[in-house]
């Protein structure tokens, strides 16, 4: 670990695994309402190539996230540093997509996961320590970001959801250590190894959708839309998801249904991307 080149190589390896995970997520189909190589889903302002452009625009920042985790800094300071890098990554994303938001949520989530993973590697910790590293890194983010909202003249969509429904969104997810990925999605993905990769990804996505308080869905269709997404996803998983022919037919129909209803489970897609990254990084750490 004392060799600078070795640390640089690890950072680049982690960044490449993150980019791979991001591309895996957008490459599966049918992914109801989401962009894929086959469909633009419920989006008329982006397609599969928009996501490819966006992914490559942010790739160098993925390496910078990893580099921050390799520094002798407090976790709270590392978090502040990666937030600054994230702002630059968002700017690069918007420049590459002509101001279309393809990866804003993913940049936030994957940036934290990357830095926590490199921190774990640098400090010779286990893969299973990464979740607690994330919790420590993001401690107090909900309280800090949502304080004094009543006094603000203009609030964001995320802030509005917090005031109306108590939904903490992506901030609450990271402060809790992204449990939907660590405690559910990863197990589901690992236990579906016998499926073909595309089926495995779709199966994990639908599983995540049944539990995710997806702010993208709420933004488009309200809390009623979110309840619908959760309920129909749970029904499909109870029918076997991508593990049964009937489940596959249901998912295919759901794609058309989501498009007609303008539903896009973008938050669940981000959690899927994180889940895939965790799977990759877990295997990577075993071989270090």
Please give the structure tokens belonging to residue 27.
Answer: 């490459």
**Which residues lie closer than 8 Å to 231 by C-beta, 6 or more apart?**
none
Angle between helices 215-238 and 245-261 (to 10 degrees): 160
Q: How many CA atoms lie within 13 A of 208 on its CB side?
A: 32
Tokens 């995320």, located at residue: 158
Please give the structure tokens belonging to residue 103.
Answer: 């990866």
Q: Looking at 70-156, list the stretches that DSSP marks H as alpha helix, in order from N- to C-terminal side.
A: 75-97, 104-122, 130-137, 141-145
- Alpha-carbon Rg for the chain, nearest whole angstrom, is 18
Please give the structure tokens belonging to residue 246.
Answer: 């009937």
SS3 helix, strand, coil % of the chain, rounded to 5? Answer: 75, 0, 25
d(CA 187, CA 190): 5
SS3 35: coil
Contact 228, 7 (CB under 8 A): no
- Cβ-count burial of 2 within 10 angstroms (0-12 exposed, 13-18 middle, 19+ buried)? exposed
Contact 107, 64 (CB under 8 A): no
pLDDT in tens, the chain (288 residues): 444 458 999 999 999 999 999 999 999 999 999 999 999 999 999 999 999 999 999 999 999 999 999 999 999 999 999 999 999 999 999 999 999 999 999 999 999 999 999 999 999 999 999 999 999 999 999 999 888 787 777 888 888 888 888 899 999 999 999 999 999 999 999 999 999 999 999 999 999 999 999 999 999 999 999 999 999 999 999 999 999 999 999 999 999 999 999 999 999 999 999 999 999 999 999 998
| Per-residue CA distances from 121 to 114, 116, 185 (Å) | 11, 9, 22
């Amino acid at each position: 670990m004392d060799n600078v080149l070795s640390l640089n190589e690890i950072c680049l390896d982690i960044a490449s695994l993150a980019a791979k995970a991001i591309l895996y997520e957008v490459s599966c189909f049918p992914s109801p309402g989401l962009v894929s190589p086959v469909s633009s889903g419920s989006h008329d302002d982006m397609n599969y190539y928009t996501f490819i452009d966006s992914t490559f625009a942010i790739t160098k920042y993925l390496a910078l996230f990893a580099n921050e985790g390799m520094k002798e800094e407090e976790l709270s300071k590392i978090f502040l540093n990666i937030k600054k890098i994230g702002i630059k990554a968002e700017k690069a994303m918007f420049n590459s997509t002509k101001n279309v938001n393809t990866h804003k949520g993913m940049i936030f989530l994957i940036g934290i996961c990357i830095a926590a993973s490199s921190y774990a590697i640098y400090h010779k910790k286990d893969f299973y320590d990464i979740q607690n590293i994330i919790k420590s890194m993001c401690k107090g983010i909900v309280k800090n970001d949502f304080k004094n909202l009543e006094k603000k003249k203009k609030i964001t969509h995320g802030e509005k959801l917090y005031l109306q429904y108590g939904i903490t969104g992506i901030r609450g997810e990271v402060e809790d250590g992204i449990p939907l990925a660590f405690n559910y999605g990863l197990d589901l993905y690992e236990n579906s190894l016998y499926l073909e990769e595309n089926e495995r990804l779709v199966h994990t996505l639908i599983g995540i959708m049944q539990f995710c308080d997806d702010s993208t869905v709420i933004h488009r269709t309200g809390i009623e839309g979110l309840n619908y997404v959760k309920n129909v996803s749970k029904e499909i998983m109870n029918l076997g998801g991508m593990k049964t022919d009937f489940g596959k037919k249901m998912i295919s129909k759901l794609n058309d249904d989501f498009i007609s209803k303008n539903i896009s489970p973008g938050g669940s897609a981000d959690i899927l991307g994180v889940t895939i990254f965790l799977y990759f990084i877990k295997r990577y750490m075993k071989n270090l």
